[in-house]
Amino acid sequence: MPTNTWLDFWQEKNAFDQTMSINYAYFLDRVEQHVTLTKQTSVLDIGSGPGHLVDAWHDRVGQLVCLDVSKRYNDQVRCRYAHCPNVVVHDLPADDYLNFDMLHGQTFDLVIVMSVLQYYPDIAAVERLLNNLKQLAKPGTKILLCDLIVSRGVVNDVLSVLKRSWQEGRLLSMLSLLFQLRFSVYYATQKQNGFLVIPQREWLDLCKRLAINGRFLPEPITLQHDRLNLLIEF
């Protein structure tokens, strides 16, 4: 059966498997300007993919819980960290990926949602996510929604990531990724489904409507400088 939705896309091997680390390395170099990690910190990683956050933080925090719709990615992380009781991986059902019942009764100090929300179908799904996250928060919890597309325009997005990749000494790797994506199922899926674009003002209105304290970070923390990063604090 051909891939035709974003949920389908992430179930199969794809060009991001070996190259997500480029954006994640940039993010990891900058995120700790905004969050503090200790041996007591509990972290929730939504859309955890192949486990880049786990690789970087598993021995620096008290607990790291991963959620993803891709059982393929989840099994990779489970295999690598079977010896780490503080790393927990949950499969999100593709037909009910906003159901967090497996986390009932838990709260977290930090929630990371990295480059995920552009694949959501609409702002109603994002609102449901935020309502779910409110139930997992406690005083002092921080939630980072990263790599948010707030305006349309693929060209600027590509130029931005190429510029940062060049500055980081990773231009050839990024060019290779972009070439692979152009001639891959990713491009076809993007053409069919597009990305979710939520303007900056709508994000702030959504936070106000849900009584959430959210603000956009003044400086980029991901390679795509045309995208924004929203910090929510409880």
Question: What are the structure tokens assigned to 18, written together?
Answer: 């070996």
Structure tokens at 119: 């694949």
pLDDT of residue 1: 42
Residue 181: predicted pLDDT: 58
Would you give per-residue pLDDT tens digits along the chain (234 residues)? 454 777 776 677 765 655 567 778 889 999 999 999 999 999 999 999 999 999 999 999 999 999 999 999 999 999 999 999 999 999 999 889 999 999 999 999 999 999 999 999 999 999 999 999 999 999 999 999 999 999 866 555 555 666 666 666 666 666 666 666 555 666 666 677 778 999 999 999 999 999 999 999 999 999 888 899 999 999
pLDDT tens column, 111-165: 999 999 999 999 999 999 999 999 999 999 999 999 999 986 655 555 566 666 6
The pLDDT score that the predictor gives to residue 223 is: 84
Q: Which long-range contacts (CB under 8 A, 24 or more apart) does 53-58 make?
A: 53/24, 53/112, 53/114, 54/80, 54/81, 54/87, 55/80, 56/24, 56/28, 58/84, 58/86, 58/87
Which residue in this structure is represented by tokens 């609102």? 127
Predicted confidence at residue 46, as pLDDT, reads: 98
Task: Report if pTM > 0.75.
Answer: yes
Q: How far is CA 65 from CA 62, 102, 109, 165, 191, in A?
A: 10, 11, 12, 30, 32
